[in-house]
Structure 1
Amino acid sequence: MAHAHDHHEPEGDALFTAAQATLEKSGEQWTAMRASVFEALAGFAKPASAYDIADAVSKREGRRVAANSVYRILDLFVGSNLARRVESANAYVANAHPDCLHDCIFLVCDQCGQTTHLDNDSVTGGVRAAASAAGFQPVRPVIEVRGRCADCRVN
């Protein structure tokens, strides 16, 4: 039976170590550029676009990094479960538990942009089951709930 559950979510160096191990386990190399992109992505408090990340990496490295290069790395990260794409914002967040594969539910605040990631296998499992019952083979359900976060509701 599917259910909501908790994860140990590594932070800082532990998150980078988990991300590197997950990428290498998938047969990919953890290059200096990939490490820089992951570090920049993980440093954002809100979902970041490829342009935001390219700008952050460019400033840190003192050379221009093209957004196209960042997009390719982000595609790799999404495919390897290191990052998640917030579809409605065309932006990305670092996956806080890259060694665990789940469908995501994102709560996106329309006022401040804060995005909260939830894992709830019963909800996403229900979406997958409904798609299957309709004769559709689901690959990756995308569930985003737009509204106002608790902080913005108060203000």
Structure 2
Amino acid sequence: MTMAVPSHQHHELLGDDLASAARTRLEKAGEQWTTMRASVFEALAGFDKPASAYDIAEAVSGREGRRVAANSVYRILDLFVGANLARRVESANAYVANAHPGCLHDCIFLVCDTCGQTTHLDDDRITRGVRTAAEATGFSPERPVIEVRGKCADCG
């Protein structure tokens, strides 16, 4: 029996459409879309699994033909997370591009311990429950991130 997951709907963006939406979102946040930020976002969006700042720095360095420091990439990734262009997979210390940067929501990540594949899903019922439980203790949740570790369907 398959249960419907309460969620909100997104149109997942890819390629140039995603980069354009990310640029628009960043500029609306009062930041500039620099060449380096565009390169970091393009590299991040090009990974099919969560990528570390080192992975991204290596990808950008290869494309640019010059060494890009991971410290610079970390600063840009922090900016991207704050502007909703990227999400941090906390347990992997890695990042994924947000395929719908115009939508603010809480994250649930399903992380495969075997292959590293990470699936992002939305279930407003679960995240609302987490927020309600936190608020009941007097805690003010700002950015709930739920990670479920296990095995994906391919590795299970």
TM-score of Structure 1 vs Structure 2, range by shorter chain:
over 0.9
User: 2:86, 2:120 → 1: CA distance?
Assistant: 12
> Which of 130, 133, 136 is the aligned partner of 1:133?
136
Runs of 4+ in 1 over 6 A off after TM superposition: none
2:81 to 63, 66, 78: 78
Q: Secondary structure at the match of 1:151?
A: coil
Q: Distance in 2 between matches of 1:25 and 1:119?
A: 24
Correspondent of 1:40 among 34, 39, 43? 43
For the residue of structure 1 that corresponds to 2:13, the secondary structure is coil
1:19 maps to 2:16: no
Structure 1 CA distance, aligned partners of 2:85 and 2:122? Answer: 15
1:23 Cα deviation after fit: 0.3
Q: 1:95 aligns with which of 88, 91, 98?
A: 98
What secondary structure does 2:142 align onto?
A: coil
List per-residue Cα deviations over 1:9-38 (Å, max 9, x = no partner): 111110000000000011000000000000
In the alignment, structure 1 segments of 5+ residues that lack a partner are: none
AA aligned to 2:114 is Q
Q: Indicate the residue corresponding to 1:9 in structure 2.
A: 12
The alignment covers a number of residue pairs equal to 151
TM-score, normalising length from structure 1? 0.96
Identity %, equivalent residues: 80
1:136 CA drift (Å): 0.8
Q: Equivalent residue of 1:96, what SS? A: coil
| Residue 121 (structure 2) aligned to one of 118, 123, 134 | 118
Let me know the Cα RMSD of the aligned residues: 0.6
1:121 is displaced (CA, Å) by: 1.2
